[in-house]
C-alpha cells in the first residue's frame, strides 16, 4: 500500500553523492501523492475510465481515444490483426490531422494562442499565434507545397529546421495534404540529413537560413547544401530546397542560394496569400510521418507513424497524463525534431486546443534562470522536460526556481531513467511540492507514453516510471522467454503484449527489419494471427516491483542514450572509420553526471600511422560531421589493438568495463588478453584494478555483439 510522504528536506550539496553514483545505487523510494488541489481539476480522476481499459475490453477500449477526434468517416474495424505484426487501427475511418489540430478549434478558440514562441534572444519579442492565424498560415503553406512544389498525398518531404513556429506550420501543411513529413532534428549534421533524405525518397527539403544557439546566430542553410550533395552522391536528387527566413524580409545566412533549386518560402507565399486548401480526407492507416531513430545496426530506422491511431493516442495521452485543458499554458522543452516534440508539442496539445509554448534555444542561456523566467512571464502551468535538463538546471542554478513566480500544476519527465535525487529536486524545488510529476517511459517507435503514473489517481515513486498506461499490458521476459512476474526482484526485457494505436506501422522501406527488430525475439509462432503471440520487444531492461510500478533500467542493445537521445554504436563507429588513418573503431557508453550516458571511442590505427592528438581530433570531427555535435565523444582513445575473441570480434563489453572502471571479468578466452591490461592502464592509470558497480545497461552492454 502506498505510504504518504510530504517531501524530504534537501540535503547540503557537500554530502550528496554524484548523480552517477546515485544512478548505480538507488533503491526503491516511498510514495508521494498528488495534492487535493490538483486532483480537483484533473482530467483523469474517474476510476471507471481505468476500469474500461481492463484487458477484457481490449481492443474496443481504444474507441474512447479515437472518439476524441473528429472523423470524416467513422471506422468499421477497431483493430485488424489479419497480418501480424502489421496491426491496423480504426480501419475504414477517414480524417485529416491538420483539420483536427487547427480547423476544428476555430469556432471556440479562434482567438486563442495555439503557439507561443520564445526566441533565445531575450530582447526579441515573444510571438503568439492564434488558432485563426495558424489556420491561415497552414493553408497558405499547404498551397505552396501543393501548387508551387507539386507535392501530393503520399509524397515524402524532409524538414530540417530549428525550433521556430514555421516548423509546426510546415508539418501541419504537409498533414493537410497527406504529404508524409520526415523532420530531422535541426542539430543533426547536413550529412545525417542527406542520408535521411535518401532513405525517405524526398525530393523537397525544407530548411531555414539560421537560428540562435547559445547566443550565436548559426548558419543553418549551409547544412541544406551538404544534405543535397550527400543525397545526390547516394542517388537521390533533391529538386527543390525551400528556405524559411529566421528574420522576416532578411536573409541571415552567408551561404548563397542555388539558382533554380533554392526558393525563399516568403517569396512563394506571396503567390498564395489567403489561399484555402481543403484538408485531404486520409484513411486512418495512411502514414502521417517518418521519424528516424538509431538501432543496433548502422542505418537509422524510419519509424512510420499512422494518421488515425497515432493522433488518437497522442491526443488521449496528452489529455489524461499531461492533464491538458484548453485553458492551460503548456510548455514542453523538447525539440520538435524528436518524437517527444511531434507528439507532445505539436499533435497532442493542438488537437486538444491547448496553448503550446516553443522555445528556440538553450535552456540555460543566458543564465540558469531563463527557463523559470519564461514560465513566469507566460504563466506556464504544465511543464515537460528530460532528466538531463533537470540535472543541468539543478547544477547551474539549484535555487533559481525560488526566485520566480510561476506555478506548475503538473510536470513530465521523459527520455532516460531519472535518479531519485534529481526527481526530488524537480518535485520540491521546481514543482514546489504541489505539481504532480509524471515520469513517462516510451520510445520513438511507440507514438506516445507506455508507462506513467496516472496523475490524480496514482501516487508517484521517484525513479520509477510507474504502472503501464491505460490499455498497455506489459510483460518482462528473461533471455529465454520465461516470464519474470512483478515482485520477483529481477530485471529482464520489457515487452508489450498487445498492439496499441500509437505503435509504429513499420520501418520505412524495410518491413523485414521491423519484424526482426521488435517482434522476432519472443514470437513463438510466425504464422499465428493472434496478437497474443506477438509481444513487442522494446529493447529496455526493466524491473517490475510488487506494487505494480515499473522501473526502466536502460537499453539492452547497442544503443547509447545520450541526454535522452538514441545513438547507435554502429553509426558512431562507421563515422570513425571515415578517417583514413583509422583501422578499427569501437564505441562504448560511459556514465555521465549530466548527460546520462556519453559515447567514448576506442580506435586502432592502420600500420605505419603515428598516434597523436590530431588523429583524435579528426575522429571527433568525423562524428560531428556525419551525425552532429550531440554525438561528440567524451574521449577518443588510440589503442595498440582491440580486445578480440578468437573469431576476431571486438569485445565492446571489456572496453565498456574499462571506461566505467568496472571489473572486466574473465578474458582468458580472448585471442589477445594481454592488450586488455595495457588499455586499462592507458585509460585508468597504473594502480589496482577498479571494481566499481555500474547500471544495468552498462553491465549488459556488448553482451550481444
Residues contributing to the site for ligand WT7 (CB under 6 A): 293, 339-340, 414-417, 439-444, 465, 538-540, 552, 554-555, 561, 564-566
Q: If phi over 0 gives left and psi between -120 and 50 gives alpha, with beta otherwise, what is residue 92?
A: left
Closer Cβ to ligand WT7, 142 or 538, answer by number: 538
Q: Which three cell numbers stand for residue 527?
A: 504464422
Long-range contact set of residues 645-654: C-beta below 8 Å, sequence gap at least 24: 645/669, 645/670, 645/671, 646/670, 646/671, 649/705, 650/584, 650/586, 650/705, 651/702, 652/558, 652/569, 652/586, 652/587, 652/588, 652/701, 652/702, 652/705, 653/701, 653/702, 653/703, 654/702
Q: Which three cell numbers stand for residue 187?
A: 542539430
**Nearest approach, Cβ of 668 to ligand WT7 (angstroms)?**
33
Q: Which three cell numbers stand for residue 660?
A: 566505467
Please report which residue ranges of 559-684 form alpha helices under DSSP H: 569-576, 613-626, 652-659, 674-684
CB 676 within 8 A of CB 642: no
**Nearest approach, Cβ of 658 to ligand WT7 (angstroms)?**
23
* CA 519 to chain centroid: 21
**Nearest approach, Cβ of 565 to ligand WT7 (angstroms)?**
5
Closest to 140 (Cα-Cα) out of 271, 282, 289: 271
**Nearest approach, Cβ of 184 to ligand WT7 (angstroms)?**
14
Closer Cβ to ligand WT7, 441 or 602, answer by number: 441
Closer Cβ to ligand WT7, 54 or 704, answer by number: 704
**Nearest approach, Cβ of 687 to ligand WT7 (angstroms)?**
34
Closer Cβ to ligand WT7, 313 or 602, answer by number: 313
Q: Where are the beta strands (DSSP E) in 511-595?
A: 536-544, 550-555, 559-562, 565-568, 582-592
Closer Cβ to ligand WT7, 304 or 561, answer by number: 561
**Nearest approach, Cβ of 414 to ligand WT7 (angstroms)?**
5
Alpha carbon distance 601, 585 (integer Å): 7
CB neighbours of residue 13 within 10 Å: 8
**Nearest approach, Cβ of 179 to ligand WT7 (angstroms)?**
24
Q: Where are the beta strands (DSSP E) in 105-151?
A: 113-118, 127-130
**Nearest approach, Cβ of 444 to ligand WT7 (angstroms)?**
3
Alpha carbon distance 575, 189 (integer Å): 12
Give the SS3 label for residue 443.
Answer: coil
**Nearest approach, Cβ of 543 to ligand WT7 (angstroms)?**
12
Closer Cβ to ligand WT7, 341 or 401, answer by number: 341
**Nearest approach, Cβ of 517 to ligand WT7 (angstroms)?**
12
Give me the residue whose beta carbon is nearest to ligand WT7: 444
Is the alpha carbon torsion for 183, 443, 155, 135 positive or negative?
A: negative
Alpha carbon distance 401, 371 (integer Å): 9
CA distances from 344 to 358, 420, 590, 682 (A): 11, 24, 29, 45
Q: Please state the three-class secondary structure of 650-683 as a single string.
A: ECHHHHHHHHCCECCCCCCCCCCCHHHHHHHHHH
CB 107 within 8 A of CB 556: no
Closer Cβ to ligand WT7, 242 or 393, answer by number: 393
CB 97 within 8 A of CB 289: no
Q: What is the CA radius of gyration of the chain?
A: 25
Closer Cβ to ligand WT7, 66 or 538, answer by number: 538
**Nearest approach, Cβ of 611 to ligand WT7 (angstroms)?**
34
Phi/psi at 289 (5° precision):
-160, 165
**Nearest approach, Cβ of 463 to ligand WT7 (angstroms)?**
9
Alpha carbon distance 635, 321 (integer Å): 39
**Nearest approach, Cβ of 221 to ligand WT7 (angstroms)?**
27
Closer Cβ to ligand WT7, 75 or 289, answer by number: 289
Helix axes 652-659, 674-684, angle to 10 degrees: 30
* CA 509 to chain centroid: 21
Closer Cβ to ligand WT7, 213 or 566, answer by number: 566
**Nearest approach, Cβ of 635 to ligand WT7 (angstroms)?**
23
CB neighbours of residue 317 within 10 Å: 26
Place of cell 529536486: 425
Closer Cβ to ligand WT7, 340 or 453, answer by number: 340
**Nearest approach, Cβ of 109 to ligand WT7 (angstroms)?**
28
Amino acid at each position: 500500500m502506498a505510504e504518504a510522504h510530504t517531501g524530504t528536506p534537501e540535503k547540503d550539496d557537500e554530502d550528496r553523492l554524484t548523480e552517477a553514483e546515485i544512478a548505480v545505487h538507488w533503491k526503491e523510494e516511498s510514495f508521494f501523492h498528488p495534492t487535493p488541489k490538483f486532483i480537483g481539476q484533473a482530467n483523469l480522476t474517474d476510476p471507471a475510465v481505468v476500469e474500461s481499459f481492463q484487458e477484457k475490453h481490449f481492443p474496443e477500449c481504444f474507441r474512447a481515444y479515437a472518439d476524441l477526434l473528429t472523423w470524416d468517416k467513422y471506422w468499421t474495424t477497431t483493430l485488424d490483426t489479419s497480418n501480424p505484426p502489421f496491426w491496423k487501427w480504426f480501419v475504414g475511418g477517414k480524417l485529416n490531422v491538420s483539420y483536427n489540430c487547427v480547423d476544428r478549434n476555430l469556432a471556440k478558440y479562434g482567438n486563442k494562442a495555439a503557439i507561443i514562441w520564445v526566441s533565445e534572444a531575450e530582447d526579441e519579442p515573444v510571438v503568439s499565434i492564434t488558432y485563426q492565424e495558424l489556420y491561415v498560415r497552414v493553408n497558405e503553406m499547404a498551397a505552396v507545397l501543393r501548387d508551387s512544389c507539386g507535392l501530393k498525398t503520399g509524397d515524402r518531404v524532409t524538414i530540417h529546421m530549428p525550433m521556430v513556429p514555421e516548423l509546426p506550420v510546415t508539418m501541419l501543411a504537409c498533414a493537410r495534404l497527406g504529404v508524409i513529413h520526415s523532420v530531422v532534428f535541426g542539430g543533426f549534421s547536413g550529412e545525417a540529413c542527406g542520408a535521411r533524405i535518401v532513405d525517405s525518397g524526398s525530393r523537397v527539403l525544407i530548411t531555414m537560413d539560421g537560428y540562435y544557439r547559445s547566443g550565436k546566430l548559426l548558419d543553418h542553410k549551409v547544412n541544406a547544401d551538404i544534405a543535397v550533395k550527400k543525397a545526390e552522391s547516394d542517388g537521390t536528387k533533391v529538386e527543390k530546397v525551400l528556405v524559411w527566413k529566421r528574420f522576416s524580409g532578411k536573409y541571415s545566412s552567408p551561404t548563397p542560394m542555388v539558382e533554380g533549386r533554392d526558393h525563399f518560402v516568403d517569396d512563394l507565399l506571396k503567390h498564395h496569400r489567403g489561399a484555402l486548401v481543403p484538408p485531404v480526407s486520409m484513411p486512418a492507416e495512411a502514414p502521417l510521418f517518418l521519424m528516424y531513430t538509431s538501432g543496433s545496426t548502422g542505418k537509422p530506422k524510419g519509424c512510420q507513424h499512422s494518421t488515425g491511431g497515432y493522433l488518437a493516442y497522442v491526443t488521449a495521452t496528452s489529455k489524461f497524463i499531461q492533464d491538458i485543458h484548453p485553458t492551460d499554458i503548456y510548455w514542453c522543452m523538447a525539440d520538435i525534431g524528436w518524437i517527444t516534440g511531434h507528439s507532445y508539442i505539436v499533435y497532442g496539445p493542438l488537437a486538444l486546443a491547448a496553448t503550446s509554448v516553443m522555445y528556440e534555444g538553450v535552456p540555460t542561456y543566458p543564465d540558469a534562470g531563463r527557463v523559470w523566467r519564461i514560465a513566469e512571464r507566460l504563466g506556464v502551468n504544465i511543464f515537460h522536460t528530460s532528466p538531463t535538463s533537470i540535472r543541468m538546471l539543478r547544477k547551474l542554478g539549484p535555487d533559481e526556481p525560488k526566485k520566480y513566480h510561476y506555478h506548475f500544476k503538473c510536470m513530465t519527465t521523459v527520455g532516460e531513467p531519472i535518479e531519485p535525487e534529481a526527481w526530488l529536486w524537480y518535485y520540491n524545488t521546481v514543482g514546489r511540492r504541489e505539481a504532480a510529476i509524471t515520469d513517462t517511459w516510451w520510445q520513438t517507435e511507440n507514438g506516445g507514453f507506455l508507462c506513467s503514473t496516472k496523475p490524480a489517481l496514482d501516487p508517484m515513486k521517484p525513479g520509477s516510471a510507474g504502472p503501464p498506461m491505460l490499455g498497455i499490458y506489459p510483460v518482462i521476459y528473461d533471455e529465454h522467454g520465461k516470464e519474470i512476474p512483478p515482485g520477483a526482484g529481477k530485471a529482464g526485457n520489457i515487452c508489450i503484449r498487445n498492439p496499441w494505436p500509437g505503435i509504429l506501422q513499420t520501418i520505412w522501406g524495410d518491413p523485414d527489419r521491423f519484424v526482426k527488430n521488435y517482434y522476432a525475439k519472443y514470437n513463438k509462432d510466425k504464422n499465428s494471427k493472434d496478437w497474443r503471440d506477438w509481444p513487442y520487444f522494446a529493447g529496455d531492461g526493466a524491473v517490475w516491483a510488487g506494487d505494480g510500478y515499473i522501473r526502466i533500467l536502460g537499453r539492452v542493445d547497442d544503443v547509447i542514450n545520450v541526454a535522452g537521445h538514441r545513438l547507435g554504436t554502429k553509426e558512431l563507429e562507421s563515422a570513425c572509420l571515415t578517417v583514413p588513418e583509422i583501422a578499427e573503431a569501437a564505441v562504448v557508453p560511459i556514465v555521465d553526471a549530466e548527460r546520462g550516458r556519453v559515447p567514448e571511442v576506442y580506435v586502432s590505427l592502420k600500420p605505419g600511422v603515428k598516434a597523436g592528438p590530431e588523429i583524435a581530433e579528426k575522429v571527433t570531427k568525423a562524428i560531428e560531421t556525419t551525425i552532429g555535435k550531440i554525438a561528440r565523444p567524451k574521449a577518443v582513445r588510440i589503442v595498440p589493438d582491440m580486445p578480440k575473441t578468437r573469431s576476431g570480434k571486438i569485445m565492446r563489453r571489456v572496453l565498456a568495463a574499462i571506461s566505467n572502471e568496472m571489473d572486466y571479468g574473465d578474458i582468458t578466452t580472448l585471442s589477445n588478453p594481454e592488450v586488455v591490461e595495457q588499455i586499462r592502464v592507458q585509460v585508468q592509470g597504473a594502480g589496482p584494478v577498479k571494481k566499481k558497480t555500474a547500471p544495468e545497461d552498462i553491465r549488459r552492454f556488448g553482451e550481444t555483439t
